[in-house]
Amino acid sequence: MADPMKIRAQMKGDVCEIRVLMSHPMETGQRKDADGKTVPAHFIQNLTVALNGKTVVSGQTAGSVSRNPVFGFKVKGAKAGDKVAVSWVDNKGDKRTDETTVA
Amino acid sequence: MRKLRIIGAACTAAALAATGMAFAQSDGVDHAKADAEFAKFRAEMEDSNPAELFEMKGEELWKAKRGPKNVSLAESCDMGLGIGKLDGAYVKMPRYFADADKVMDAERRIVWCMTEKQGFSFDEIAKRPFASGNYTPDITSLVTFVAGHSRNMKFAVPIKDPKVKEAWEIGKEIAAYRAGPYDFSCNTCHGSDGKRIRMQNLPNLAKPEGAIKGVFGWPGYRMTGGVMLTSQWRMNDCFRQQRFPEPKYASDTVTYLLTYMTATANGQLYKGPGIKR
Amino acid sequence: MTKKLILAVAAIPCLGLALPAFADASASAKAIETIKRDFKPRGQADLDRLAEDFVQALCNRTANNPSPENAKRIEADQLAKVKYPADGKLMGDWKKGESLAQSGRGFTWTDNPGLPVGGNCYNCHQISPKEVAFGTVGPSLLQYGKLRGNSPEIQKYTYVKIFNAKAYNACSDMPRFGHVDALKPEQIKDLVALLLDPESPVNK
């Protein structure tokens, strides 16, 4: 199973700043290993951010994103104490959801 | 291995007229500006450093009962301030440990705890001690976790301890030792001010302001390749570039060099696990 | 290993050099002991690389500051061992020299020993004005030939400097590229041309 994400959600004025660090190899499928064999593609494809259960960001990513990627979002209409859930699904069907509370 | 270097015995007395011409010193690149731009980029990255992922992983490993003896490091490993006390431990290392009768840097100490307290095999750990590709050894995450507990503290290696002082002195000499096909020592690149290899700035490790640059960013997340690397790795890779053979993992040589650098940086701020280009 | 280090040091008196021996308890002696214990061979990097030849030993024991007499003896000895190209010409092709100067590969434990070794020049020197990613461990060589001309004496000086920098400066930071057989005389000729050929970008 994938390692947990690290999520930080903070109110800056009336905007909630969300920063997410994900633990993922993000293999492009174009890299070769030491033996010259192609390393199979393995990257996050879908990404969602939900605020109190309601999806506020939904996006697609591909192999051009770096290993252990960092994402930043700004969301209006949030307040301290709200629940932020971030989820991803990769091309192998692995998935992960982590939560934090807006500070 | 056993072949001897042929040492010439003949002393030919060829006279030599040295051509003492002045070398042109011009550059044409605004390095101050480039450095400032990179510092900005680094500050941005530090705000969400993937090193934090390894701290989280390390915390899990630190607290879990593991190894043949099924004990946790949290309940068995003394990083110098007492079992279970991690705040400020990293910036006070390397230090002397009576139980091991050795001066140890943080990584060497954790390896010692893993073998002595948890019962792991040293040879197994030393087989693949550094991260590469998608592989991160447990020890790397553990060092990152421990280092995170010294965030924003000042380096305070106990240099008054005679054992640490001796390690510092030997480390200083190791840094000056020239050998190998290119006659390189650590100091060839890191012994004077304001030098570069290609575009890479080379800190002068003999001075506090240079030594801090050599130690403060480690363990560090290297964006090239996306791997978490420790100062043990950094020393290893320096010897590679010095065209030396490989230093044994967690050996005196590496600890003494780290003692030399870290204690020279004493009194300066450690910002926590870093991020590298 | 022990045997070799002792031999290397013992061989020094035959050059007539008076070397201060390290006291056994000194940090320098302990450093050598520690180094001898703590390394293992990897790839092409064998343990014999840890042993000092007499030039390294003299520089190590004098903090790179040998007495003028000892420095002169070393320089004369190293100069006498310089090998010159068979055809007697010291300037080759500056374009080949430029690509050789760019390459920093060779001699590390991750380098394939079967592949050619680079000149490593730009690692430490500014050379052609077109290359901005240059190091500053050594002096800038921009306009090297324009300032000096390319008389036979300058050609010889430049060739020897690259072949073995210790022939002119006993404890120079610069590797002895020809002496350790990293670069062949033909390759050093190309580097001489890079520095001295009026057509080379270095002198434009």
Residues C106-118 pLDDT 10s? 999 999 999 999 9
Separation of alpha carbons B144 and B131, rounded Å: 12
User: Per-residue pLDDT for chain B (277 aa), expressed as one digit of tens each?
Assistant: 333 333 332 222 222 223 333 333 345 557 788 778 878 877 777 777 899 989 999 999 999 999 999 999 999 999 999 999 999 999 999 999 999 999 999 999 999 999 999 999 999 999 999 999 889 999 999 999 999 999 999 999 999 999 999 999 999 999 999 999 999 999 999 999 999 999 999 999 999 999 999 999 999 999 888 899 999 999 999 999 999 999 999 999 999 999 999 999 999 999 999 998 7
Mutate one of C83, C108, C172, C173 to test the B interface: name it (highest B CB count within 10 A): C173
The amino acid at residue C105 is R
Domain range spanning residue A81? 6-101
Q: Using CA of residue C139, residue C142, residue C144, residue C147, what is the dihedral sign?
A: negative
CB distance B126 to B118 below 8 Å: no
B180-189 exposure pattern, b = at least 16 Cβ within 10 A, e = fewer: bbbbbbbbbb
What's the total number of domains in chain A? 1
**Is C20 part of any domain?**
yes
pLDDT of residue B134: 83
Q: Tell me the chain C residues in contact with residue B248 when contact means C-beta distances shorter than 8 Å.
A: 38-40
Tell me if residue C148 falls in helix, strand or coil: helix
Which pLDDT does position C23 carry in this prediction?
62
Contact exists between A and C (3 or more beta carbon pairs < 8 Å): no
Catalytic member of B77, B113, B189, B238: B238
Backbone angles phi, psi at B203, to 5 degrees: -70, 145
Whether residues C40 and B181 touch (CB distance < 8 A) is answered with no
Q: Cβ separation of B134 and A67 shorter than 8 Å?
A: yes
Average pLDDT over residues A3-19: 92
Using CB atoms, which residue from B18, B29, B246 is nearest to C109? B246
Domain assignment present for C187: yes
One-character DSSP codes across B206-228: TSHHHHHHHHTT-SEEETTTTEE
Q: Are residues C98 and C60 in the same domain?
A: no
User: What HEC string does A43-61 produce?
Assistant: CEEEEEEEECCEEEEEEEC
Per-position pLDDT tens, chain C of length 204: 444 444 444 444 445 555 556 666 799 999 999 999 999 999 999 999 999 999 999 999 999 999 999 999 999 999 999 999 999 999 999 999 999 999 999 999 999 999 999 999 999 999 999 999 999 999 999 999 999 999 999 999 999 999 999 999 999 999 999 999 999 999 999 999 999 999 999 999
| Active-site residue, B113 included | no
Q: C98 and C199 in one domain?
A: yes
C55, C100: one domain: no
Read off the CATH number of the domain in which C101 is found.
1.10.760.10
ipTM of predicted complex: 0.90
Q: What radius of gyration, in Å, describes the C-alpha atoms of chain C?
A: 19
pLDDT over 70 percentage in chain A = 99
Distance CA B106, CA B91 (A): 9
Q: Which helix (H) or strand (E) holds C45?
A: none
* Ramachandran sector of residue B198 (left: φ over 0; alpha: ψ -120 to 50; beta: rest): left
Residues of B in contact with A98 (CB under 8 A): none
B25 and C139 in contact by Cβ < 8 A?
Answer: yes
Q: What is the dihedral of CA B263, B265, B269, B275, to 10 degrees?
A: -100
Kindly give the pairing relationship between strand B227-229 and strand B246-247. unpaired
Are A49 and A25 in contact by the 8 Å Cβ rule? The answer is no
What is the C-alpha separation between A37 and B37, in angstroms, rounded? Answer: 38
Residue C7 pLDDT:
41
- What are the tokens at B130? 């550094």
3-class SS at B127?
helix
Tally the domains of chain C: 2
Query: What pLDDT, on the 0 to 100 scale, is given for residue B40?
Result: 81
Cβ-based contacts of B226 with chain A (< 8 Å) = 26, 66-68
Instruction: State how far the Cα of C105 lies from the Cα of C111, in Å rounded to an integer.
Output: 7
pLDDT at A78 over 60: yes
Alpha-carbon separation of residue C20 from B8, C13, C15 (angstroms) = 20, 11, 14
For residue C198, is it within any domain? yes
Is residue C85, in this structure, part of any structural domain at all?
A: no
Question: How many contacts (CB atoms, under 8 Å) link B and C?
Answer: 199
C137:B195 CB<8 A: yes
Q: Residue A44: inside a domain, yes or no?
A: yes
Q: How far apart are CA C76 and CA B232, in angstroms?
A: 41
Angle at A6 between CA A4 and CA A8, to 5 degrees: 150
Three-state DSSP state, B94: coil
Q: What is the pLDDT of residue C24?
A: 60
Residue C70 lies in a domain: no
Domain B51-276: CATH superfamily, name plus number: Cytochrome c-like domain (1.10.760.10)
Instruction: Output the six-digit token pair for B101.
Output: 């009768």
Identify the domain containing residue C155 by its residue range.
Answer: 94-203
Tell whether A18 is covered by a domain. yes
DSSP string for chain A: -PPPPEEEEEEETTEEEEEEE-----B-S--B-TTSPBPPPB-EEEEEEEETTEEEEEEE--TTSPSS-EEEEEEES--TT-EEEEEEEETTS-EEEEEEE--
Residues 6+ apart with CB under 8 A from B147: B90, B106, B218, B219, B270, B272, B273
Q: What pLDDT is recorded for position B16?
A: 29
Q: pLDDT value at position B71?
A: 98
Residue B7: the pLDDT is 31
Give me B71's structure tokens. 């004990």
pLDDT of amino acid B2: 39
Burial of C204 (0-12, 13-18, 19+ CB in 10 A): exposed
CATH number, position A97: 2.60.40.10
Between CA C121 and CA A65 the distance in angstroms is 35
Question: Is C83 among the domain residues?
Answer: no
Interface membership of B43 toward A (CB under 8 Å): no
Same domain, C98 and C61: no
Alpha-helical (H) ranges within C67-184 are 68-80, 94-102, 121-124, 144-148, 152-163
Residues of chain B with Cβ-Cβ distance to C56 below 8 Å are 178-179, 183
Residue of B nearest to A72 (CA): B48
Query: Percentage of chain C with pLDDT > 70?
Result: 88
Residue pair B104/B112 in contact by the 8 Å Cβ criterion: yes
Q: What are phi and psi of A43, to 5 degrees?
A: -145, 160
In a shared domain, residues C103 and C188? yes
Q: Are the C-beta atoms of B54 and B140 separated by less than 8 Å? A: yes
Per-residue pLDDT, C21: 60
Contacts of B223 in chain A (CB under 8 A): 66
The DSSP code for B92 is: G
For residue B41, the model assigns a pLDDT of 77
